[in-house]
Amino acid sequence: MKRALIFILLLVLSAGVFAQTQPRGLDFTEFGVRIEPDKRVIVVLAALEAAGINTPLTEKGDEFRRKLNADIAGISPALKTRMSTFVAQYKKRNARSTDSEIIAPFVQMAYALDPVPDLTEPSRSTDLPGELLDVLDFAPLVRDFFREVKMSQKIDDYYKEYQKIGDAMRPSTAVMVGTLLDYLNTRPELSYVERVKNTAQAAKGTKRKIEATERRERDRRFFVVPELLAPKGTINFVNVGDDYYAIVPPGTDLSTSEARRAFLQFVLDPVVLDNTEQIFAQRPAIKTLLDARRKINPSISPDFVLAISRSLVAAVDARQVEYERSRIANLQARQAIAAIEVEDEKLKKEGKFVQTERDALKKAVVAKLNEFTRQLSDETAVLLSDAYESGAVLVFHFADKLKGMEDSGFDITESVGNMIASLDAAKETDRIAEFSEARARGIAERERRKLSIADQANVIENPLTKRLLEIETEIKSKNYDVARISLKNLLKTEPVENDPNEKVRVFYSLGRVESLSAEAANNPEDRNNHLVAAQQAYSNVIKFKTDTTDKALISLAYVALARIYEFSDQSEYAVKVYEAAINVGDIPGGAYAQAVAARERLLKDQ
């Protein structure tokens, strides 16, 4: 199994993307994570659709919206008016909120309702959040809507459709869970023990009472909730007691989305609560920092425990990304230098070795790595500064402490108490100023990347390129079946059939899809089937290449193909294919360094 995971990781790296070291087939249920639609949310958001909410949805969401509108077309004008009026009045009271923001409290309300079909709301009380109380009167309208459009006859079919969307999220959910827990070196607490005091009468005719403490254990769970009517690009997070819900639209890559912070909240909340003694000891210092921020932004919560929790979550979120990407960049730099050193030996034998030229190549690799590392650090500075300004006033403090522990292999969560105890409030007051230059560079780099992407889009005139970019969005969203069908259809089109170079591009993309599908496969048979398909696609890249074919693509295809042979225990043949990749040359964007390193590794093992 370990060899399979290493192989698949290298396949993805050869395609030029940052891979995660955790298997997509990770059984995340053992960490308290489930992917389940919620019928209450489905009904509430369907009711909002009937009330006239028109949020931007994903493509699949738009398809479902059309189907839903047809299903609820028979709603009475009277009920529709009551619902529309309620929503319009709520939007008027929250005029600065977008429709996506308007939906959030209604989603929170959905989780306060009894299960379908009752959908009964809780009694009003001061214990309920204010934003929930503002929309609680919409609940009776939801029940009327549910009955009037006979949704009980449709809800099970909707649920099955939603579950298919959820199944497509399993690979990225596994990556999210695996990478974050791997970074923290921990497992989430899946139960909470509450100690409840009970008082009972000692005996008849006596006034004496007996007090006893009862232990009650509750399960803790994290739900990924696929929702077709969730606004595009928006993730709602709801915490109800010991259950945490991340409501996500179709196609969401959880490993790079805001769902990461929701999951981290699930993991770290009990860790924070276990360190209340240290937190209360630092209350005056934290309150001073919060008061300073609240003078600038009064909407920041004064809750000092919440500030600790938000700071820790934001710090882990930012540091994990920088750590992982930096680790991969360092690995690639070492491989590049190793390839240069292999070439050095060859040049020495040929009498063509020039020390200054070869040293310059190594320095260029190091300079590129240093620049990339600086950009990563600047991006982290942007994330931490944004979190600090939003009330996470200890985010820089936690980030510093995390950075010092990342290579230790220890459970980071066990050190949270010490992190809190070591707080120096004076140091945290000037953090924004301290990182202002790095933040400015990070923001500038973001804008530069946006412009670069826009420029690339402006120069793309080839229809096939445009179509491959569209298919790439499906690949990034882990919609491999959709991407596979689209690529196979492209192969049948006349422009691709008649142009070997275009055919090569499509076959290479098809090989990537099959390789990624193999990584996501849950059983060996499926994985092997996808690997066979990937081998065939990469072989076709070689078969149809011409003198004008992109050499980087040929290089990548050779290396991907060699790794399939290596995985199949055909090391001797894999060496020959790696050598074919090396013979293509050190082409920008190619896989020369990976081919050299892999060949040397296999030769040593023989």
| pTM given for the model | 0.69
Tell me, letter by letter, the H, E, C secondary structure of 324-365. HHHHHHHHHHHHHHHHHHHHHHHHHHHCCCCHHHHHHHHHHH
The CATH code belonging to domain 1-21+461-606 is 1.25.40.10
Question: What's the pLDDT score for residue 14?
Answer: 36
Q: Name the 3-class secondary structure at 542.
A: helix
DSSP 214-242: EEEEEE-EEEEEE-TTSPTT--EEEEETT
Question: 412-416 — which CB contacts under 8 Å span 24+ positions?
Answer: 412/183, 412/184, 412/185, 412/186, 412/316, 413/184, 413/186, 413/267, 413/268, 413/271, 414/186, 416/268, 416/271, 416/272, 416/274, 416/275, 416/312
CA atoms of 265 and 253, how far apart (whole Å): 18
Distance between terminal CA atoms of the chain?
22
- Supply φ then ψ for residue 304, to 5 degrees: -75, -30
Write out residues in the chain with pLDDT < 50, as ranges: 1-25, 453-461
Q: How many CB atoms lie within 10 A of CB 404?
A: 11
- Locate the domains of the chain by residue range: 1-21+461-606, 32-176+188-252, 274-459
Question: What's the pLDDT score for residue 284?
Answer: 93
pLDDT tens-digit map of 397-440:
999 999 989 888 889 999 999 999 999 988 998 899 999 999 99
DSSP 21-71: SS-TT--GGGGTEEE---HHHHHHHHHHHHTT------HHHHHHHHHHHHH
Which residues 6+ apart lie within 8 Å of 344 measured at CB?
A: 353, 358
Question: What's the pLDDT score for residue 18?
Answer: 35
Question: What's the pLDDT score for residue 592?
Answer: 83
Which residues 6+ apart lie within 8 Å of 197 measured at CB?
A: 211, 212, 213, 214
Question: What's the pLDDT score for residue 503?
Answer: 87
Question: What's the pLDDT score for residue 22?
Answer: 41
